[in-house]
Structure 1
Amino acid sequence: MSLLGKAAVAMWWNVLPEQRSEFGDWHSHEHFPERMSILGFRRGSRWTNSLDAEGFFVLYELERYETLTSKGYLDRLNAPTPWSTKMMPHHLDMVRSQCRVEVSFGSGVAASLATIRFSPQTGNDDLIRTRLAERLNGLASKPGLTGAHLLVTNTPTTSAPTTEQQIRGTDGAADWVVLLSGYDPQIVEEAVSRFFSAGALQLLGAKEKSIMGLYKLAFTMSPADVVTI
Structure 2
Amino acid sequence: MSLLGKAAVAMWWTIRPEQRAEFGDWHSHEHFPERMSIPGFRRGSRWTSTDDADGFFVLYELEQYDVLTSKGYLDRLNAPTLWSTKMMPHHVGMVRSQCRIVASFGGGVATSLATIRLSPESGREAELQAHLAETLAGLAQKPGLTGAHLLLTDTPRTSAPTTEQQIRGRDGAADWIVLLSGYDPDAVDAVIAGQLSPSSLQTAGGREDPMTGRYRLGFTMTSQDVAAA
TM range (shorter): over 0.9
Deviation, structure 1 residue 158? 2.5
Quote the Cα distance in structure 2 between the aligned partners of 1:4 and 1:61.
Answer: 6
1:101 and 2:104 aligned? no
Quote the Cα distance in structure 2 between the aligned partners of 1:180 and 1:126.
Answer: 21
Residue 195 (structure 2) aligns with? 195
Quote the Cα distance in structure 1 between the aligned partners of 2:130 and 2:160.
Answer: 35
Quote the Cα distance in structure 1 between the aligned partners of 2:197 and 2:85.
Answer: 38
- Secondary structure of the 1:206 match is coil
Q: Within 5 Å, which residues of 2 pair with 1:75-94?
A: 75-94=75-94
Q: 1:140 to 1:159 in 2, by over 3 A?
A: closer
Quote the Cα distance in structure 2 between the aligned partners of 1:16 and 1:79.
Answer: 24
- Secondary structure of the 2:215 match is strand
Q: Within 5 Å, which residues of 2 pair with 1:35-114?
A: 35-114=35-114
Deviation, structure 1 residue 160? 2.8
1:23 and 2:23 aligned? yes
Residue 146 (structure 1) aligns with? 146
Identity, % of aligned positions? 70
Quote the Cα distance in structure 1 between the aligned partners of 2:222 and 2:159.
Answer: 30
Contact 2:191 2:197 (C-alpha < 8 Å) held by counterparts: no
Deviation string, structure 1 residues 141-178 (Cα, Å, up to 9, x no partner): 00000000000000002263100000000000000000
1:160 and 2:160 aligned? yes
Quote the Cα distance in structure 2 between the aligned partners of 1:124 and 1:67.
Answer: 30
Which amino acid counterpart does residue 226 of structure 2 have in structure 1?
Answer: V
Contact 2:97 2:173 (C-alpha < 8 Å) held by counterparts: yes
- Secondary structure of the 1:205 match is coil
Count of residue pairs brought into register by the alignment: 229
Deviation, structure 1 residue 228? 7.1
- Secondary structure of the 1:179 match is strand
Stretches of structure 1 lacking an aligned partner (at least 5 in a row): none
Deviation, structure 1 residue 125? 1.2
Quote the Cα distance in structure 1 between the aligned partners of 2:159 and 2:181.
Answer: 36
Quote the Cα distance in structure 2 between the aligned partners of 1:47 and 1:144.
Answer: 18
Residue 184 (structure 2) aligns with? 184
- Secondary structure of the 1:207 match is coil
Quote the Cα distance in structure 2 between the aligned partners of 1:228 and 1:88.
Answer: 28
Which amino acid counterpart does residue 204 of structure 1 have in structure 2?
Answer: A
Which amino acid counterpart does residue 217 of structure 1 have in structure 2?
Answer: L
Which amino acid counterpart does residue 5 of structure 1 have in structure 2?
Answer: G
4+ residue runs over 2 A deviation = none
Deviation string, structure 1 residues 113-145 (Cα, Å, up to 9, x no partner): 000000000011111111100000000100000
Quote the Cα distance in structure 2 between the aligned partners of 1:43 and 1:15.
Answer: 22
Quote the Cα distance in structure 1 between the aligned partners of 2:69 and 2:40.
Answer: 11
